[in-house]
A and B are shown apart, each in its own frame.
Chain A
Amino acid sequence: MTDASLEDRLKHLIVDTLMLEDVDAADIETEAPLFVEGLGLDSIDALELALAIHKEFGVRTREDDEKNREHFHSVKSLAEFIRTEQAKAAATPAEAAPEA
């Protein structure tokens, strides 16, 4: 995966998942808040986005809602979160049966 495009992939994922038909993915600012201000998204959007991110990147949200709020603040924070989680997953041996 080319890491440089993670932010762009997220922007497209946001537009597609939330069907923001007026919004051009390229116009979403990487550091702008996604919720309340910015795109004006709500809690249902956050859930839809969490589900889409899980499907797309295999990453799950955290147990702590405060932390989740921080991760979902902007495209930048989401990308950082996904990179961290994916690095963690790569460092941990898979639970699958070991190779014979």
Chain B
Amino acid sequence: MSADTLTRALLGRHAPGDLVAFGAAGERTARDLVTDAARVAAALDDPRPGDHVVLVMKSDRYAFAVAALAAWQRGYAVALPPNTRRDTVGEVLARPEARALLHDTGAGLGVRVPELLAAPPADDAAPPAFAAVTPPEGVVATAFTSGTTGQATAWPKTAGQLVGEALALTELLALAAGARVVPTVGPTHIYGLLWSVLLPLVSGGAFLRETPLLPEAVVARLVPGALLVTVPAHLRAFEALAPGALAAVGRVVTSTAPLPAETAAMLRERHALTPLEVLGSTETGGVAWRAARDADDVAWTPLPGVAVAVDPGGRLLVDSPFVDPALPRPYRTQDLADLDADGRLVHRGRADDVVKIAGRRVSLRAVEATLAAQPGVEDAAVLAIDDPSGRQTRLLALAVAPGVDAGELRAALAATLDASSVPRRVHLVRELPRETNGKLQRARALRALGLGPDGQPRAFSLAWDGAVEAPPAPSESAERRVFRARVPEGYAWYDGHFATYPVMAGAVQLHDVVLPCVRRALPAAGPLASLARVKFLGRIAPGDAIAVTLDWERGQSAVVDFTITAGERACSSGRLTLRAAAAAAGEEATTP
């Protein structure tokens, strides 16, 4: 590239008449792309070193490619804001290196690319040819990620990184000229830029101009043998398609988050597709790939040109031409991994507080800091739990904020944070469960949200059937009350007791099953004084319908015999002695 132009590197495999773009908006050839790029380039001033053109191109991938190529031909890099929100774009535009704006929005500033392209070409002369020399180490694109705190982070990429990776991917996929790429992701982040624009160009193929999202829309845009470039959350929705609807798909590539086994199985069984998954990050570029044919095959193979190792702390080390040149080599990632005997890597999660939500990296601490910074918030905690939807991870927040409305708090976060980073739920509490050193007690925090340690909903009390006729008491002088309830599958107090064989602890049976019944039967009874003859005879399992029978002698309600049965099975029995009912005034204070 040093003695070449980026344009030649990108279009070297195309003859002038070869397609670079197709779709509902019409076909475009390599010649069109070069000509159109020159027309847009003519609307740009000469750059100073390091100058960027901000691209806000929402609808047409061809227009995006024209704008990017125009900037590169003039020697600019392109700046890609993470979304088209006015404040986000404004923040990128306010940076000193942001010299110009090319866009397809209704905004009244910058250059509107669709207008330029719609204008008839000047027929007096060929457009001026610009061909800036782009050295491999020159930055050609800076992608911004929406920092969870609202502060955008800049990720500069050099020509060597991006074109090098596009070439490596061409090799990995053995893409021949004429490949057709159908993306469900836009071009304005590194993954989309690389896979939906640069890869089709470098390999001599073409991309779809539109970005279909919903399943039927994707099907409508397929061409035979298409390389579908997508993400797991989009693939999950293909479940709604009839078998065979994706017959035109040649191959599927997915990245940004691991493909859930369930989605992989659905694609295999319903659509006979095995996606190629690519592991990578903004810092490292692509690292490794896999095409898991079964759920056990979880190891990743390094991409061509990538060397991986694992440091003594279990952290993945990456060295490749695609790693940010400003970073030390090998680059020590925040990913935990093992290497198998074949040099393939098995991913073991993250070493930091970053979670992936629908493929976006979100820092829990940053969300927490944003929540804590809201007016009226005294303390805040953000928790990530597994989510069965395409989002894969869900954020929940706890806040101490007297007098503040939880809904307003969530709305305030939605105004600042990227949509994916906004906690699904903001729950107000009087105090956060913290260790003395300030560390959050996760299990107790989840309990405050009505969830068990696995993030699944829990029932914290049993729903007693009050309208149960009591069987006859054993004698004339005896009183008997019976309470019935079904123990729910997600009963909170099974947590921590034999995950594979849930047993209800004796203390739970007494405190959370028997005593609440005693309080109902004898509202005036005092606190528990002693226990006698307590026997735990059989297990109470989730789903059991249990009955609690309470017997006492009339006039002697301080001594109550209890039995818990599940159907015919006796589970436990014993005798409770209750303190004499406290004086009416003190009752509330002594009732547990």
Interface residues of A (CB under 8 A from B): 17-22, 40-44, 46-48, 50-51, 54-55, 60-65, 68
Contacts and interface: CB of A to CB of B under 8 A. Distances in A.
A60 B237 contact: no
A65 B425 contact: no
Interface in B191-220: 210, 212-217, 219-220
Nearest to A64: B217
A48 B239 CA distance: 11
Interface stretch (B72-80, B113-121, B341-349, B389-397): B389-397
Interface string B224-253: 000000000110110111000000000000
A51 B425 contact: no
A66 B219 CA distance: 15
A50 B237 contact: yes
B389 A65 contact: no
A67 to B, nearest CB: 9
Interface stretch (B170-178, B311-319, B414-422, B474-482): B414-422
Contacts of A47: 213-214, 233-234, 236-237, 390
A41 B424 CA distance: 10
Given A41-B419, A44-B390, A22 B217 contact: no
B217 to A, nearest CB: 5
B407 interface: yes
A20 B411 CA distance: 13
A53 to B, nearest CB: 9
Nearest to A62: B216
Nearest to A36: B419
B419 A40 contact: yes
A43 B213 CA distance: 8
Contact of B394 (A19, A22, A62): A19
B391 to A, nearest CB: 6
A18 to B, nearest CB: 8
Contact of A51 (B219, B240, B406, B410): B240
B410 A62 contact: no
B576 interface: no
B406 A22 contact: yes
A65 B214 contact: yes
B419 A19 contact: no
A41 B419 CA distance: 7
B525 interface: no
A21 B239 CA distance: 25
A55 B420 CA distance: 24
A46 B426 CA distance: 22
A65 B217 contact: yes
Of the candidates A40, A41, A44, A60, the one having the most CB atoms from chain B within 10 angstroms of its own CB is: A44
Contacts of B422: 40
B210 A65 contact: yes
Contacts of B213: 43, 46-47, 65, 68
A47 B217 CA distance: 12
B220 A42 contact: no
B424 A19 contact: yes
